[in-house]
Amino acid sequence: MLPAVRTGTGTGAPVRSHRTFGYRVPVPATVLILCTGNAARSVMAGAMLGSAPLPVVTAGTHVIEGQPMSRRTRAALEAVGHNADGHRSHQLTEADVDDAVLVLAMAAEHVAYIRRRHPGAAHRTASLRRLVRDLPPGPGPLADRLAALDLAEVEVGSWEDVEDPAGGDDADYVSCAEELAALCAGLLPLLD
């Protein structure tokens, strides 16, 4: 497979196309949701943002590839009316970052990770909390509204973290799911 080529759609949403055996296969821009293990927070937020106008991909910065979600994550999602059946953990790749019109981080450490490892994506990387607070609503393209936030330069703080429930009990997972449900409900209309 040859390297991907960035093209435009005329709708303001970038599209990547991969060359396979001489044919171009378009890959739409995605919302990439990032946490550490791709086992709880990003899985939950991915399920909650499943109705977003762009495809949603979840990944982690330090993942054991291909692991199913825990029973606690599954139960917490069910408690707030969502599911992520079939989820398998996924380690963040360069292609994931390249395909993303938005990298949605669960904590300041994930924003810092992208700035350090994928500096070309810093301008489209932000925490969920920051976007809910700062992203202006449409009608402009999402990429333009993100650019107006100057995300590569903003100081990231601990107030942006969604607490990782890993190692906690069932109630910690449900609390995280409830927090994410409220944040994702605030973000969904801003993604249009």
Tens of pLDDT, residues 76-122 = 999 999 999 999 999 999 999 999 999 999 999 999 999 999 999 99
Compute the half-sphere exposure of residue 50: CA atoms within 13 Å on the CB side of its CA. Answer: 11
Distance CA 26, CA 173 (A): 37
Task: Write down the domain spans for the chain.
Answer: 5-191
> Under CATH, what is the fold of the domain 5-191?
Rossmann fold (3.40.50)
How confident is the model at residue 2, as a pLDDT?
31
How confident is the model at residue 85, as a pLDDT?
93
How confident is the model at residue 192, as a pLDDT?
82
> Which regions of the chain are under pLDDT 70?
1-28
Beta carbons of 124 and 146 less than 8 angstroms apart: yes
The radius of gyration computed from the CA coordinates of the chain, to the nearest angstrom, equals 16
How confident is the model at residue 64, as a pLDDT?
94
How confident is the model at residue 29, as a pLDDT?
86
How confident is the model at residue 28, as a pLDDT?
67
